[in-house]
Amino acid sequence: MSPVLLVCAIAIKLTSPGPVFYRGERIGYGGRIFRTFKFRSMGVDAERQGGASTHEADVRITGIGSFLRRFKLDELPQLINVVTGDMSFVGPRPEVKKFVDMYTSEERVILTVRPGITDWSSIKFHNEGEIIAASGIVDADEAYTKLIRPEKLRLQMKYVRERTLWTDIKIIFDTISTLFRTRAPLKL
């Protein structure tokens, strides 16, 4: 993966001022706060300029950031979080504190497993930004809360209750399949 990571890092540095990585606070296993690594796909200080959720036409997203997000390349640095033990390959996607604070007592079961790079909700909502943009709801966090979050939580709780090695393998293959099925090939 290092050649891909290197190319992404160079592209970010050449096209946008600021750091290569975004290190956002997320809530992980046991409710512990950790910093997730992602390639920076937005301008510097984007969090201060808007909510946690974004849509595909969000003005905070850089040109290269749009490409990285489309092909999920911005997520690759989370492999660092896997190595450090903050994340797993498969598990409920880590969430920002604002949304974890909204968990019901039943939903808190999500925090009993290590968060992952992919899960059932990542597959179902592979086009989250498009859903939010098409909703017509101006506030991206509001659109996320109404249109995506309830089903995402249901799928994450289902994963926690039914997880097995076979389930993890299936999720990894379904994630790869979804990525190739839903993204247009590169035009050279």
- Could you give the number of structural domains in the chain? 1
The confidence score (pLDDT) of residue 184 equals 55
69 found inside a domain: yes
187 found inside a domain: no
DSSP line for 80-97:
HHHHHTS-EEESSPPB-H
Residue 177's domain spans which residues? 2-182
Average pLDDT, the chain: 88
Average pLDDT of the segment spanning 57-79: 83
117 found inside a domain: yes
188 found inside a domain: no
The confidence score (pLDDT) of residue 130 equals 85
Q: Summarize pLDDT for 77-110 with one digit per residue, the tens.
A: 999 999 999 999 999 999 999 999 999 999 999 9
Own/partner pairs, 174-181, CB within 8 angstroms, 24+ separation: 174/123, 175/118, 175/122, 175/123, 178/123, 178/126, 179/71, 179/72, 179/126
10 found inside a domain: yes
62 found inside a domain: yes
Assign 24 to helix, strand or coil: strand
Residue 128: how many CB atoms within 10 A of its CB? 22
133 found inside a domain: yes
167 found inside a domain: yes
| Single-letter code of the amino acid located at 12 | I
Average pLDDT of the segment spanning 8-24: 90
Whole-model pTM over 0.85: no
The confidence score (pLDDT) of residue 99 equals 95
159 closest CA partner among 171, 147, 173, 149: 171
For residue 52, is pLDDT > 90? Answer: no
Rounded-to-integer distance, Cα 150 and Cα 43, Å: 29
